[in-house]
Structure 1
Amino acid sequence: MDDERDLIAYEEPRVLGEVFPDRNADDPEYRMCSTCRVVLPADQLTVIKHRHAGQPKGHLRIYCLDHFARADERAEGSDSEPATGPPSRSRPLDDRVIDTTYDFQTDTPQGKDPDAHSDTLHRYHRALWSKELPDGTRLDLADGRPGSYLDHESEKGRFWLTSDAVIPTFPHKAGDIVAKLDDGEFEEFHSLGYTIGGMMIWPGNKIGNKQTINGARGFHPRIADRFDLTVECIRRHYAGQSSPLSDVLARYTDFFALFETFEGFIDHFLLHDLLDGGRVRFAMPFDEFGGPSVPQDLATYRRYMEASMEFVHARNARIAASTRTL
């Protein structure tokens, strides 16, 4: 048997030590809860093979007793909801657990986009960003599916919001460079980008049939989907300065007005680890949007990858700390 995942069926909880008896002798990393990272004997852990958009043979997650119980509660809750009909806009949010190690490709059908199809990501976005704005009012996000992803309506206006994975790994634009990485390097980087620290929400409604922020930042060659460059454009928007995204950001002025200032925007979305003394911490050398936005060699790609992963890890830790107060 070439792949250990062939040993178990999908969504069938099994005792780790029974399925993989050698795990007790292996590196502790192989008998660690995927959620809280506690290391336990293999016979005290549960392993489940979940379907995963990026892994045709599925994705193994390991659970300690506590986190297996919580995962089982959520699974039972989802099974009890009706399979048809409109989603409940007042469905209670389960704020007890925001698993910052969770890869949203895990509950996404193969070939689909987690931004649109991961129920866990949708729930996390709604729980995390439904919070108080600088003026003391709340940005309460409602489940807008199936017509939209999340929405908010109040005296401040109506906002339709969509999810976006903001850390590009450039598998095509830098494919020749990616091929030179060591085994597992790209996969680790790619999967980390699909944890909550690598995700954002933006306005999803088109204005004047023009590009949304998500579309513009992806297609503009001087941004190339980079989050650090996007945030620099947002900083300049608040400062009244021009940038490659000036036009699209101006179309969504009402969205950015919710947070009043650049600092308010950073605070709301817990982006502090992308800044250094109020300045954006760039993942590649920055030349006023004049240089290449995509890494051109292996050394630059590794620098970009390491800086991006450092940010996502730091933001995940910040998100985990913030959810303890929910």
Structure 2
Amino acid sequence: MPALLNRLLAAPSRIGALASVTFVQLVRMKVFVFLAVFALALILLQSLRINDVLGPETYGRNELALLKNTAVGGMRLFGLLFAVAATSLLLPKDTEDRIIYTILCKPVPRFDYLLGKALGVLSVLGVALLCMDALLSVILEIRTSTVLTEQSAVMHAAGLTEAQMQPYLEGIRQAGLTWDLQASLLVMFMEWAVLTSLTLFFSCFTSSTLTSMIFAFGFYIVGSFQSQFFGFALHGQDGVSQTVQNTTDFFGAIVPNFQIYAISDAGINGRPISPGLIGSLTLITCAYFLFHLCMATWIFRRKEF
């Protein structure tokens, strides 16, 4: 009993050490080069007078919305690609370098090993997201101030009163930097966490990095259109058999429903996301993450190392 207690007490430091080693391992792969590319693209996009290129319909809040959606779209693409690619590479690389044998020959539970790997990937994603968020926030705040000044001058020249100008100016502020944008980025990070754990699960029973990536992206696409997929499959069937119903229920339970993370688009477009909804998504994300991790551990224990 004391030995088991000591192992449980040592688990956080053990997992933290594995996560930090994974973090350093991924940083050495120069993944942060993307941040330099992202920063350069965002600065160029900010300096470009979008309304002169796309026409007068992009003036004001639409100009800010376009800037914000383009930047967040780049962040999401980076996160999805990195979560799948980096996680798929971890186990094969550790096996190739024989690091995994050194770790597992010690009293390190395989659950702790996999959890440390997943947290290492999420640590890199978290640091990258914070850097990109900080850069976007600064640029968006500067651009919002510029647009407000320009539009105020235009409306003053047109003879509008302060009361008439206020609703339009408030709309511009809502299209700029808001707390709802930060909530959207948090939801996006949750989506990355689920995709990371799902990819880790596939990495445990496939020997090919490419196969893990294909499975992960395939399940992500299916999970992103889950309701449409089931609606199409059952369309026009008046009496669905119990077998078909059970199959769809089982499939819906094991495939993460990535559609629930689409609410991040609401915050990006200036619509509020309630704290209660954030809390519910956090619980769902933790459930998905632990489920994938437990299934990965169950498969991983059956491998010979």
TM value normalised by structure 2: 0.31
| Structure with greater Cα Rg | 2
TM value normalised by structure 1: 0.29
- Greater helix content: 2
- Greater strand content: 1
Question: Taking CA–CA contacts closer than 8 Å with sequence separation of 6 or more, which of the two structures ends up with the larger relative contact order?
Answer: 2
